Structure 1
Amino acid sequence: MRAGYGTLEVLSDISFDLAPGSIRIILGTSGCGKSTLLNNILGLEVAWGGTLDLLGHHLRAGVDPIPLEVRQQCGVLFQNGALLSSITVAENVALPLRMHHPEIKEDILREMVAQKLESVSMLHAWHRLPGELSGGMRKRAALARAMILDPQILFCDEPSAGLDPVTSNELDKLLLKLRSELGITMLVVTHELNSIDTIADDVLFLSQAKVLFDGSLNAAKNSSEAEVANFFRGFSSDEFSATNAVSFDIKEEL
């Protein structure tokens, strides 16, 4: 995949796989194109070229629109939560259901919303407005909305941004819980070392518009690439998870 802004190329020949059931981290220094990559995968920005193999669909990046059935299988947790401030938490979570499944009866819809809010420990905030919530609570409410359609892939853009270390760790544990219970695949943009150590299976390290490293968290910590090694310097973990299966792929068009 290639992408950029104006004449500035931000991503060049970016290619990687995302194993089903895994949590892959996109990382790198500020301005390296992490969020740009995520936005281009989701079709929120128009890629310059390349291909995107997503949930059984082969798409020309920046040319072919992402089919509705694919979008419905992709949940997104935006950096700021992106909750609508004028409606309640429950109404925010219900929005994707009302948009994609207007045929669902109201009592069933309410039950589905309640289940998702309970899964993120936010059922008590049903009637509250986003402005009445703490930063961590807003992120959990936004996570419930991202999960309401039971997606196969969850995309997260800086989920820990603006959170204190304790709240950030709680959110990381919640992501692991959802992965364990639902088998969901996650692609997470972050630069938070503690979060990376807690949730990452695999790492994609971007530098100067290209992939500098692609591999497991453990391999990243022991990388011979100076920039990658420096990123993890003084940071270690006794455990990291590994997952299996393969399916998701982004390739440069030949």
Structure 2
Amino acid sequence: MIELKDVYKTLDGRKILQGLNLHIREGETYVIIGRSGTGKSVTLKNIIGLMKPDSGEVNIMGQCINNMGKEESYALRQKMGVLFQSGALINWLNVEENVALPLVEHQRHLSKSEVQSIVQHKLELVELEHAGKRMPSELSGGMKKRAGLARAIVGNPKIILYDEPTSGLDPVMSNQINDLIISMQEKLGVTSICVTHDMSSAYRIANRIGMIYEGQIIEEGTADQIKNSQNPIVKQFISGSTVGPLTQ
């Protein structure tokens, strides 16, 4: 479903991705972990086409996006949904209007009643069916994330990208978001890529986990395989220890 081959990316003279290879299967949830500044978000931006690699290939659903034109990139991007770290709701639109925005902007053939029906269904999936008229300022952090997720899935994407979905949430709300991510995979059959520092979330939602270090995936595997890794870099990161190669 998603394949990055020997991808390099330098930003402001700093080498971010250094030969990164990544293979994500259709229908799985793949979680990317790693320290801040190691290239997790840059990887997501390369997948969605907001950045192009300096070298290497990015293949999405069998299409190489490196040299795609504007219209091709636009069409492919419509098959992806993104849940941003903050939810990224527009403050002057209510929840329903925020969720409807991708349909209003990109699927203008839909009638108003069709848009309302789709939006209501997506709000039900994220358990916000009674909050459609609320403004973002009236929502808790977890509700903003759920509204952002409803907007991400409103166009029935094949791929969902999650950027720190549990950031800033308490443990109970974090688990609710984790359950929703699992639910999206089960009910919609989507392929999901999640960037997170939250190891409890990673272990709960992932089919596979990959750790980025110095611009490469240095280890990947199931939750149990990562928990039992003998790589000292991985062991220090997942334990949060202050002693080890990451702090030398």
> Is the aligned partner of 1:64 residue 2:68?
yes
Matched, 1:35 2:70: no
Q: State the partner residue of 1:229.
A: 235
Match of 1:200 among 186, 196, 206: 206
Task: Check conservation: 1:169, 1:195, Cα contact below 8 A.
Answer: yes
CA deviation profile, 1:76-111 (whole Å, cap 9, x unmatched): 001111110011110010011112210101111100
Structure 2 equivalent of residue 238 of structure 1: none
TM-score normalised to structure 1 length: 0.87
Residues 1:108 and 2:119 are matched in the alignment: no
Q: Count matched residues.
A: 232
Q: Judge conservation of contact 1:221–1:232 (CA < 8 Å) in 2.
A: yes
Select the structure with the greater relative contact order (CA < 8 A; seq sep ≥ 6): 1
TM-score, normalization by structure 2? 0.89
The one-letter amino acid of 1:116's match is K
Cα distance in structure 2, aligned partners of 1:165 and 1:215: 25
Q: What does residue 155 of structure 1 align with? A: 161
Q: Which whole-Å deviations, capped at 9, do the CAs of 1:147-176 have from their partners, x for residues lacking one? A: 001111100000011111110011001111
Shift of 1:59: 2.4
> Partner of 1:241 in structure 2?
none
1:23-78 superposed Cα distances (whole Å, 9 cap, x missing partner): 10010122211111111221223432211110121222xx4356222111100001
Once the two structures are superposed, residues 116-147 of structure 1 have per-residue CA deviations (whole angstroms, 9 ceiling, x without a partner) of 00110111111111111000000000000000
What is the letter of the counterpart of residue 208 of structure 1?
E
Q: Hey, what does 1:14 align to over in structure 2?
A: 20
Of 129, 133, 136 in structure 1, the residue corresponding to residue 142 of structure 2 is 136
Corresponding residue of 1:237:
none
What is residue 94 of structure 1 aligned with on the other side? 100
CA shift for structure 1 position 181: 1.2
Choose the corresponding residue for 2:87, options 81, 89, 113. Answer: 81
Counterpart contact for 1:130–1:138, Cα < 8 Å: yes
Tell me what 1:178 maps to.
Answer: 184
Query: Using the alignment, how far apart are the partners of 2:208 and 2:176 within structure 1?
Result: 21
Q: What are structure 1's unaligned runs of at least 5 residues?
A: 235-254
* Secondary structure class of the residue paired with 1:12: strand
Query: CA RMSD of the aligned region, Å?
Result: 1.4
Gaps of 5+ in 2: 1-6, 241-248
Q: Is the 8 Å Cα contact of residues 16 and 214 (structure 1) preserved in structure 2?
A: no
1:119 aligns with 2:125: yes
Once the two structures are superposed, what CA deviation does each residue of 1:181-238 show, in whole Å capped at 9, x if it has no partner?
Answer: 111110000010110111011111011222211222222222221111223349xxxx
